[in-house]
Each structure stands twice: as C-alpha cells, then as structure tokens.
C-alpha cells in the first residue's frame, strides 16, 4: 500500500470514530434543546389557558383532549398541595396518522374561585426514530463528502508535496553503480526531503567509490594470480616431459598440476561470480535458450561419452528470455556440468526445456542434497576433486540478477529447475 493511501486509511478510520462520537454528543444536546423548547411552549400554553379560564369559566368544563390540547378536572386541596408541575413523554392516538404518536405532557395544578384543578396540556414531539434516521443519513453524507475531499487532497495536494520523494525513488531505481553519470538528488523546498536527498547522494558516492575500488582490486588480483598460475602450469608440463623423471615424481607433478588447474578454475569462477553480483554484464537482448541448450549439449558430447552417461533431451520448444547472452550460456553450461560431475557411473542426464522453464535431472547419490546449502559458495554434495563448489552459486547469482527462480527436488533422482516467468 502506498504511503498516501496508508495515511488516507488512517484518516478515514479516525474520521469515522470522531464523527460517531460527535453524532452521539450532538444528538443528546439537540434532544435537550428540543425538550427545553417544547417545555417552554407548554408553559406558555398553561399561562394562556389560565388567563382564558379567568375570563371564561366554561374553560374549566373541558374534560377531554378531543376538544383541544388540554383538559381540566377538579381535585381536592390536599391532593393539589402534594403535586407540582410535571413534564413527561407519553403516547397519544392521532387521527391523522392513525397510530399512536409521541407527545409531551405537562401536568399542573391551579386554584380558581376557591377550587383546585388539575390541568393537562399536550404538544406534539419530534419522533426520535425519525430524528435518528435523518441524523444518520446526514452524518453518512457528511462522512462521504469529507472522505471524498480527503482523497481529492491526497491526489492533488499531497502528491504535489511528495513529488520530490517519488522523483528521488525513480532516480534510485535507474541508478547503477557502474554508471558514468553521478547521482543527483531532486531539488525540493521541503527541508526533510532536502536532507533525505543529500544523505542518499553522499551514501551513493561512498558506495560508488567502494564499488570501483573493489572492482579494480578483484580484476587486478585475478589477473596477477592468473599469470603466475599459467607460468607454473607451463613449467610443470615441460618438467613432466623430461625423460629422467621417475614414476613417483611424475605422480607428484601430476598432483601439483591438478591442484593448479583447479586453482585456475576457482580464480576464474570467483571473478565471474563477482562480476555477476556487481552487475557488470549490462548488455541484454532476447535470447533463445533452445539454441543455447542445444549448443551446450553438443559441446559436452565428449564428456557424456567419457563418463558413459545416457543423455535424454526434450529441447524442441523455443524459450525466449531477455538477458545477457554470455550469462545465458554460463547458466546452462553450469547446470549441465553439475549434472555430469555429480553423477553416478553409467548414469543418466535428462534435459527438458519448455517455454518458461529449464529442468535438468540426473542420477547420483541416493540421498537428497542439503537444499538450504546447495546454492551457497563452495558447497559440494560429493567429494569431487574437479569441482570448485561454485557452479550452482553462479547459477543462483544469474537467476537472482534476472529474477528467475531456481529450485531443487529429489525424488529418486536429482532435479534442478529454473523458472523464467
């Protein structure tokens, strides 16, 4: 959820709570004002009826509400002295509504001509259920109006305010450490955004410097290692061709040559892995993995024959991916090489390519490999002396670079799958 929508959701919830609380307070205050107004009206009606009764004694003969809004009956002096003015709510049948409706009733006592009388006056009231319904609809429309206003402000005002932030994020997404263009933060009048941009800019400048230093160190170290290794290999090969060497000496030279060759492969693999993780393979194009897989399998024909492995391939389906062609070749080559190196004598390798996945299955040891360690550097499922332990680490690095998903399963055979989409 975007920050603006997140803030809007909080505001909407808070606004709903505040309006609900305000509605309750407003409702009871409004009822209190209504009761005060009605009671004042009843008090005024009482005064008018008393004035009318002093002028016309027939007023005292009204015994029922059917003839008006009041009724009078005589009472004893003792009863009258015990009662005061009483305001209360009650129901009365209304002819026009054909139903009982709420009314406000005033019961009072007065004296005229030495006789005490009880008088009851009524007036219509606001129906509370109608009042609540009207208030609810009014508050609902008010809430929706405020919410619409809030959304409008978010999409116009707040988006304009947050524009430097989104500009900064977009520039960060497009920025690459190996880019020749320096990173520049967007200009903003808001102090916090200025501070954020300056901090990010300084941080990236340090990262670029560290990246360039690390890149130079790796390349120089690899080059410096590769040269003495190549010289040592050449000299040992020349030494091995000497006719005066004993068989034991030849075996020792062969062991040294094997270790130096492994060290050479290790040096190249670490350099490759570093370049992948540093995103130095920037060139991308649409690669047909069908051609890549078929070419790699053709290159490894002698290896399959040497290890007496049975190859089964289903690679007739084109598979188009957008990536660096060299990395595509390295991805397939390392997967196939892994299936050959970590296989059983006279085993099998099955290669299946679909439009969105590459699956390679092979025989090998009858126990599953440690899935949580399989793609880590220098992990070896077998004690192979020819393996550097970096093949699947390179595969994982390439998959991470292009957001591919690589997985491992074991069901009486080892199965590696790369999902491209």
d(CA 126, CA 202): 69
Q: Is the pLDDT of residue 14 over 70?
A: yes
Give pLDDT tens digits for 58-97: 788 888 876 678 888 888 888 888 888 888 888 877 766 6
Give pLDDT tens digits for 163-212: 888 888 888 887 777 666 777 778 888 888 888 888 888 888 888 787 77
Q: Mean pLDDT check: name the lowest of 43-47, 57-61, 384-388, 415-419.
A: 384-388
Is residue 161 within 8 A of residue 4, CB to CB? The reply is no
Q: Is the pLDDT of residue 151 over 70?
A: yes
Confidence of residue 349 (pLDDT cuts 50, 70, 90): very high
Give pLDDT tens digits for 89-130: 888 777 666 777 788 888 999 888 888 888 888 888 766 667
Is residue 185 within 8 A of residue 169, CB to CB? The reply is no
Give pLDDT tens digits for 367-383: 888 776 777 766 665 55
Report the pLDDT value the prediction gives residue 129, as an integer from 0 to 100: 67
d(CA 135, CA 171): 50
| Cα–Cα–Cα angle for 29, 34, 35, rounded to 5 degrees | 100
Q: Is the pLDDT of residue 284 over 70?
A: yes
Confidence of residue 1 (pLDDT cuts 50, 70, 90): low
Report the pLDDT value the prediction gives residue 20, as an integer from 0 to 100: 83
CATH architecture of residue range(s) 283-419: 2-Layer Sandwich (3.30)
Average pLDDT of the chain is 80
Q: How far is CA 394 from CA 79, 226, 272, 407, in A?
A: 105, 20, 8, 14
Confidence of residue 352 (pLDDT cuts 50, 70, 90): very high
């Amino acid at each position: 959820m975007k920050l603006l929508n997140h803030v809007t959701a909080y505001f909407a919830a808070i606004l709903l709570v505040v309006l609900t609380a305000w509605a309750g307070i407003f409702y009871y205050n409004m009822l209190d004002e209504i009761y005060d107004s009605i009671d004042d009206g009843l008090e005024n009606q009482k005064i008018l009826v008393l004035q009318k009764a002093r002028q016309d004694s027939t007023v005292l003969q009204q015994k029922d509400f059917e003839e008006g809004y009041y009724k009078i009956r005589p009472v004893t002096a003792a009863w009258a002295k015990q009662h005061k003015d009483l305001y209360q709510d009650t129901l009365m049948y209304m002819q026009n509504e054909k139903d009982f409706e709420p009314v406000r009733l005033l019961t009072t006592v007065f004296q005229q001509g030495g006789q005490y009388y009880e008088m009851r006056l009524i007036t219509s009231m606001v129906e509370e259920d109608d009042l609540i319904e009207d208030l609810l609809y009014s508050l609902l429309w008010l809430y929706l109006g405020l919410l619409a206003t809030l959304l409008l402000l978010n999409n116009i005002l707040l988006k304009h305010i947050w524009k430097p932030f989104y500009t900064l994020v977009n520039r960060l997404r497009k920025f690459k450490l190996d880019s020749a263009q320096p990173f520049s933060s967007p200009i903003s009048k808001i102090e916090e955004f200025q501070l954020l941009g300056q901090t990010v800019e300084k941080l990236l400048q340090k990262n670029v410097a560290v990246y360039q230093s690390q890149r130079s160190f790796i390349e120089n170290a690899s080059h410096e290692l590769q040269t003495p290794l190549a010289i040592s290999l050449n000299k040992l090969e020349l030494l091995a061709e000497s006719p005066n060497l004993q068989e034991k000496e030849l075996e020792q030279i062969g062991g040294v040559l094997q270790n130096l060759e492994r060290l050479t492969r290790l040096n190249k693999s670490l350099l490759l892995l570093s370049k992948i993780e540093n995103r130095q393979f920037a060139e991308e194009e649409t690669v047909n993995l069908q051609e890549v897989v078929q070419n790699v399998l053709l290159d490894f024909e002698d290896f399959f024959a040497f290890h007496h492995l049975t190859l089964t391939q289903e690679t007739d389906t084109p598979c188009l991916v957008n990536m660096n062609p060299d990395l595509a070749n390295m991805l397939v080559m390392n997967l196939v090489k892994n299936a050959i190196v970590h296989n059983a004598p006279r085993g099998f390798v099955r290669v299946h390519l679909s439009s969105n996945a590459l699956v390679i299955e092979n025989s090998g040891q009858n126990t599953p490999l440690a899935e949580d360690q399989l793609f880590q550097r220098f992990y070896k499922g077998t004690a192979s002396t020819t393996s550097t332990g970096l093949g699947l680490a390179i595969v994982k690095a390439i998959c991470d670079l292009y957001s591919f998903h690589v997985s491992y399963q074991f069901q009486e055979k080892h199965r590696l799958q790369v999902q491209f989409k």
